[in-house]
Chains A and B, each alone.
Chain A
Amino acid sequence: EPEVTQTPSHQVTQMGQEVILRCVPISNHLYFYWYRQILGQKVEFLVSFYNNEISEKSEIFDDQFSVERPDGSNFTLKIRSTKLEDSAMYFCASSPPDRAQTQYFGPGTRLLVL
């Protein structure tokens, strides 16, 4: 069964550094998402992406964040200048064209900002 994949599984970075988190959505899916989960807290929506543009974004998704679909298979989340509070698990999700709200999650990238 097709799955969303994410790389790397873990990333440690220094405060102020840029990080890029990568995702490969399920191949026939057209809607892509990023969520994050700070340790011990609930899963929070960051951004949705469709047809090469952002559909919706949350208050968390400020100017330090950006998303891109650089080719036909990858979907990336960039954090320009990481802060300590960006430490979290970041999940990519995708959904099929006929059920846009049915989202399938990848395994996540655990980001630790020191």
Chain B
Amino acid sequence: QKEVEQNSGPLSVPEGAIASLNCTYSDRVSQSFFWYRQYSGKSPELIMSIYSNGDKEDGRFTAQLNKASQYVSLLIRDSQPSDSATYLCAPANDYKLSFGAGTTVTVRA
């Protein structure tokens, strides 16, 4: 079983729509959860962190965490063409991030 699973996509959404990204993880001792954005050929850029069950909003981004279901999600509201990238889910266990393969999002103008 993969440690971190994400739908690979591509997820194509029209500009202004909501993009919904899902992630499941297998390590129950993961303490913190992070979403990174990675443009092609670039490094991961931190966009959201979430530590406890429930929702966390930051601008156009909302992260949701359900530790019992080992599930974390990211919503991108009012999607813009600049949001076109690969989004990486990364649970943390101690000082190690375990990355998923990422979901590629394409926002159509």
Interface residues of chain A, those whose CB is within 8 Å of chain B, are 31, 33, 35, 41-45, 48, 50, 55-56, 58, 89, 91, 95, 100-108
Is B88 within 8 A of A101, CB to CB? no
Main DSSP-derived SS at the A contact region: strand
- Does any Cβ of A come within 8 Å of B43's Cβ? yes
Is B95 within 8 A of A31, CB to CB? yes
* B interface bracket (residues with beta carbon within 8 Å of A): 20 to 34
Is B43 within 8 A of A106, CB to CB? yes
Write out the residue numbers on chain A whose beta carbons fall within 8 Å of the beta carbon of B66: none
Given the contacts A43-B88, A101-B31, A102-B34, A33 and B43 also touching, CB distance less than 8 Å: no
What is the bound-complex CA distance between A107 and B38, given in angstroms? Answer: 11
Q: Kindly identify which residue among A55, A91, A108 contacts B95, using a CB–CB cutoff of 8 Å.
A: A55
What is the bound-complex CA distance between A107 and B27, given in angstroms? Answer: 28
Given the contacts A43-B44, A104-B46, A56 and B95 also touching, CB distance less than 8 Å: yes
Measured CB to CB, the closest approach of chain A to B39, in angstroms, equals 11
Write out the residue numbers on chain B whose beta carbons fall within 8 Å of the beta carbon of A104: 46
Given the contacts A101-B31, A101-B32, A102-B34, A45 and B96 also touching, CB distance less than 8 Å: yes
- Does any Cβ of A come within 8 Å of B13's Cβ? no
Proximity string of chain B (23-47) to chain A, C-beta cutoff 8 Å, 1 when within and 0 when not: 0000000011010100000111110
